Structures are given as structure tokens and as C-alpha cells.
A and B are shown apart, each in its own frame.
Chain A
Amino acid sequence: MNEVDAAIAWPDEIYGVLKDMDVSQVCYVPDAGHKILIERSIADNQMTTVRLTTEEEGVAMLAGSWLGGAKGALLMQSSGVGNCINMVGINQECRIPLLMLVTMRGEWGEFNPWQTTMGQGTQDALESVGVIVHRLDDATQTADTIRAAARQAFLSYRPVAVLIGQRMIGYKEFAK
């Protein structure tokens, strides 16, 4: 896949990997970067898609899903990562997998300064509680990165996050 195609198709690539990894539950707090993936999950009758009011609900919910034998993925924006920190203790103390797909704000060409604090602190915050972090900044690497993260989460029983760079998503432009 060339770079132009990859830049358009990466949400579909993620969806394909999630299906291939038997992910059957998707929960989310919306982000524009996850729009297509959320829509594809909702349209998929084989997937259970749950909307959350705040991101840490997804951490706890997917721990319950995995106890019940189902694999899930938590979709969110970087601004929600801080909400999750205490809840990740469930995953760490119980060795329960967690796959977090985080679309980044507050980095590449950010327009809204209020996104910068959490965006710049996202990786450190996750790593401070032992979440394994992968960066995804090149759309041609999407499938490999998501697959590696999902494998490590589900096969090694660890919380793993993929930070999807703002460079991949593009600037958020506000109407002038």
C-alpha cells in the first residue's frame, strides 16, 4: 500500500486486524480520529460496541469482558488517558489484558492549546503505571503495529496502548 492510500485506509486496517485477532467488544469515548473505526464496529453485528461516558469505564468493562472469555479494544483520545490511570491497577494486579487505541492530540501542529498538557503527558502517564506503549506515526505501519500490540496484550496478559500520532490524523481545522 502506498503512503497516500495508507493515509486514507488506516482505520479500516485497524478494523481488519481487530477482526483477525477475534476482538468482539469495542468500547469508546468518541474522537474524530476514530470516527470510521467506531462506525465500522457499530455496523458489525459480530461486534458489541459500547459507548462510555468516561474512558476508565472501558478499562474496567474490558477486564470483565476478558474474565468472560471475550477480547476487546478501548478507543479514546489522548485527553482521556489520565482518567484511566487508577483503573489500570486491575489489569496490573490481575494480569488481565488491555488493548488501548489512543488518537493523539496536543502534538503535531495542534491548534487548541488546552490539548497540550495531557497530549504531551500521555506516554509518560501510561508508562508510569506500566502500560506498554507503541507509537504509530506512519500509516503504512498500521496493521503491523496494531497486530503486535494486540498480540502482546492478549498473549502476554499486559495492558498495551498504541498512540496514533496526530500527524496521521491531520490537523483539526476550525471554521474561520
Chain B
Amino acid sequence: MTDKQATLDRRDVVSRILAGREDALVITGLGSATWDTAAAGDNPLNFYLWGGMGGAAVMGLGLALAQPDRRVLVITGDGEMMMGLGTLATIAVAAPSNLAVMVIDNERYGETGMQEGHTGAGVDLGGMAAAAGWRKTTIAWTEEEVNALAPILFKEPGPIFATVKVNRDPVPLVLPARDGTAIRARFRAALLGEKAAE
């Protein structure tokens, strides 16, 4: 649907972005975005979703509203985001200034056989976010654009919606912990300290 070629490597993109996270809280959408984030280096302030498809961005909303002084970054895939299109409207209306969503868009359902997704047929997720009223939407096709993205995602007033177009080259499987109770207990302890036990 476009003349541009997606050449970016998804693992490289996620690593570059997370290098600038400081104390940001990260939620990952199920599938490849979770593996990408794990591959960039484990962190107790990562919450890895292995299910709940369509819920990553709006889970970020709840976290951002509960922690208004912390930056929240949701990293997810185009298929996961497509399942939660209504959340683009919900987040726009709630308008959290500390929330950013980065969609790693390979235009495919990577976990189920690389079937073409809606973005591969021209659906513009960022355009939908803009139409819903997100404060800023942006798209990256090049390394330069990715390098410019980190300060936007972590510093600019949100809600911010960033699409990163990536290639479809196979990447090694890197799986984080999959015991949800362990992931959430670790996350809450790192974020809330003693209050995590309340």
C-alpha cells in the first residue's frame, strides 16, 4: 500500500528506545512485543502480557492514571492494537499526559503464521489515533527517526502514539517469565515498595 520499504529491525528498535527509559514503567502487548522487550533486557518495571489481546494500551491508561508522576510506555504490535481500536477513543478522552504507546508494525500476525494484518492492507493506526484526538502521533521508518523517537516517547506531553514500521525478518525467540503472579508481584514491589503488600 506504500512505496516505502520497512527495513528497521524490531529488536534493534526496541533496544534503542528502552535505552532511554530511565524509570519509566513499561507494559508489553502479547506476542512479539513481549519477546522484543525481554530481549532488550529484563527489568522489574516491565509488565509482560501473555494474553488479554487488545488490552495493552488501555492497561497503560490505568497505570498512567494511577501513577501520574511516572512515564508509562506501552510497546505492542499492530495486531494487538487493532483488537483494541476502541481504546484509542477511550485514551484520547482520558488524555493522560504521561502515557505513550509504541506500535511495532510489521503488518503481520507474527505468532500465528505471519498472516497479513489490516495495516498491511493500508489501515493507518496512527491516523486513527490522531482522529480520536491523541495529542501527538508520529511514525518512524528510519534509524534517524527512531533515534528522534525516544525523547518524544519519554518526555513530551501525551498521550503519544508512535508507529514504527519494521521488517519481517525472523528473530530469535526470547521469552520472559510467564507466571503472571510473579510478574505482577515483582512489578508492584519495584514500583510501590512496602505499599505493594497492602
Contacts and interface: CB of A to CB of B under 8 A. Distances in A.
Interface string A35-62: 0000000000000101111101101111
Which 3 pairs of residues, A with B, have the shortest CB-CB distance?
Answer: A68-B66, A60-B55, A64-B62
Nearest to B84: A57
B6 interface: no
B90 A48 contact: no
A65 B96 CA distance: 13
Contacts of A54: 86
A2 interface: no
Interface of A: 25, 48, 50-54, 56-57, 59-70, 72, 86-87, 89-90, 93-96
B53 to A, nearest CB: 7
B93 interface: yes
A94 B181 contact: yes
A25 B62 CA distance: 8
Main secondary structure of the interface of B (DSSP, over half): helix
A84 to B, nearest CB: 10
A53 B180 contact: no
Given A62-B62, A69-B67, A52 B55 contact: no
Given A56-B55, A86-B53, A89-B51, A61 B61 contact: yes
B8 interface: no
A90 B58 CA distance: 13
Nearest to B86: A53
A60 B52 contact: yes
Interface in B81-135: 84, 86-87, 89-90, 93-94
A60 B50 contact: no
B191 A64 contact: no
Nearest to B181: A95
30 contacts: A25-B62, A48-B65, A52-B86, A52-B90, A53-B86, A53-B90, A57-B58, A59-B52, A60-B52, A61-B59, A62-B62, A64-B62, A64-B64, A65-B63, A67-B47, A67-B62, A67-B191, A68-B191, A69-B66, A69-B67, A69-B196, A70-B62, A86-B51, A90-B51, A90-B180, A93-B51, A93-B180, A93-B181, A95-B180, A95-B184
A149 to B, nearest CB: 18
Contact of A72 (B53, B62, B93, B180): B62
A67 B26 CA distance: 11
Given A53-B87, A57-B58, A60-B55, A93 B50 contact: yes
Interface in B31-54: 47, 49-54
B106 to A, nearest CB: 23
A64 B55 CA distance: 10
Interface string B162-198: 0000000000000000001101100110011001100
Nearest to B56: A60
Given A53-B86, A57-B90, A90-B51, 20 more contacts: A25-B65, A51-B93, A57-B55, A57-B86, A59-B55, A60-B54, A60-B59, A60-B84, A63-B52, A63-B59, A65-B65, A67-B59, A67-B63, A67-B188, A68-B192, A86-B52, A87-B54, A90-B49, A90-B180, A95-B181
